Amino acid sequence: MEECRGNGENEDVLSSHRATGRSRVSRFVLGFYRSEEHGGEALREARKKGFRRSAAIHRASDGGLNHFHDGFGPRDRAAFGIAMALAVTVLAVIAGIPSMAVVPCALCGFLVAWFGTLWLGLGIRSRVLRGYRGFVLPGESLVVVEATKEEAADVIAVLRHIANPSVFAIRPGPSFTASTETTGQRREPTTMASLPDCAAELATSHELESSTRSRPLLPILRDCEVIIERARADLAEAARLEYGVTHAAEWLLDNAYLIRSNIADIRHNLPDNHNKILPVLTDRSCPVRLRVYHLAADLIDRTGYRLGRRTSSVFSTPISISLR
């Protein structure tokens, strides 16, 4: 998710991988306005500029919601298509068209109505608007515009031209569920001197199963790769739209090749039968039961996500024997 305050200063960028779009290339541009008048004006301007897949949500001071230009859902399009098919059938009978040709005509009428509403871009589907209305505060209006990657900059410019809105651009992305559960807040980083003791304690706490079959790591690696690449694409688009990005985001944009090379090394060096030969934990609460996976996750957590050659060596020494 990319955010831009209307005054153009102190712009922030937030990344989000919430899958919200129908199209693989579309994104939703959201403009939050402080009044219904400004929201309505922005919606009219967007539709005047040809962005027909647009709608607005206004929340009254008492909490009531109003939708403007919410589009046809599948049921609405189906009902409209059936009505069109019946109308075409009646006209075909009146015109004396042979009965064998009536059915194709009715089918064409249904398809025209079904796809025509999508092509015309009659607003935004109510299901999509329902997903965003929880962000609208009393007295605010939200304008939602569905646009392609190429149109996003123009849509943002149109929305920012009205009043002083907060504008977000959200692109669809895959959902990602962490493979390990985390409870509470992130722990404080462990000192280098304490790492061996932590590793030894962790090694003795693990109960190993006699079987060595577990879920392979390569599908998880692919999931992580997809998430990183989508995040990088989000940040690259944010930079193209002239949003401000953090130093960490700049590092990711400049050093994505390092991440790709490390992923390639893992694929090259990880044995194909790793899920059949490496020790497996008896704990079945985690989808990945490979012991080395949990050791790596614990090391990353204990070092505050600051991994280095020395920390890896110090942590792995007490447990290297137990992995044989």
| Total domains in the fold of the chain | 2
Contact present, 148 and 118 (Cβ < 8 Å): no
Q: Is residue 303 located within the same domain as residue 194?
A: yes
Burial 64-74 (b: 16+ CB within 10 A, else e): eeebbbbbbee
Q: Is residue 315 located within the same domain as residue 212?
A: yes
Q: Is residue 193 located within the same domain as residue 314?
A: yes
Position 240 in a domain: no
Evaluate if pTM is beyond 0.75: no
**How many Å separate Cα 35 from the centre of its chain?**
29
Position 37 in a domain: no
pLDDT of residue 29: 92
Position 164 in a domain: no
Position 248 in a domain: no
Place of tokens 């960028």: 13
For 43-62, the pLDDT digits (tens) are 999 988 988 888 899 999 88
Listed in sequence order, the DSSP H helices in the chain are 36-48, 74-94, 99-120, 126-132, 149-160, 195-205, 218-240, 247-254, 256-269, 274-277, 291-302, 309-320
For 124-177, the pLDDT digits (tens) are 777 788 888 889 999 999 999 988 888 888 999 999 999 889 988 887 655 444
Mean pLDDT over 239-244 rounds to 79
Position 269 in a domain: no
Position 36 in a domain: no
Least-confidence region, from 72-76, 161-165, 293-297: 72-76
Q: Is residue 318 very low, low, confident or very high in pLDDT (cuts 50, 70, 90)? A: low
pLDDT of residue 122: 61
C-beta neighbour count of 247 within 10 angstroms: 7
Rounded to the nearest integer, the mean pLDDT of the chain is 78
Q: Is residue 93 located within the same domain as residue 207?
A: no
- Final residue in a domain of this structure, among 120, 147, 175: 120
Q: Is residue 293 located within the same domain as residue 211?
A: yes
C-beta neighbour count of 185 within 10 angstroms: 6
For 88-130, the pLDDT digits (tens) are 888 877 888 787 777 888 888 777 776 766 566 567 777 788 8
Domain residue limits at 295: 187-217+274-324
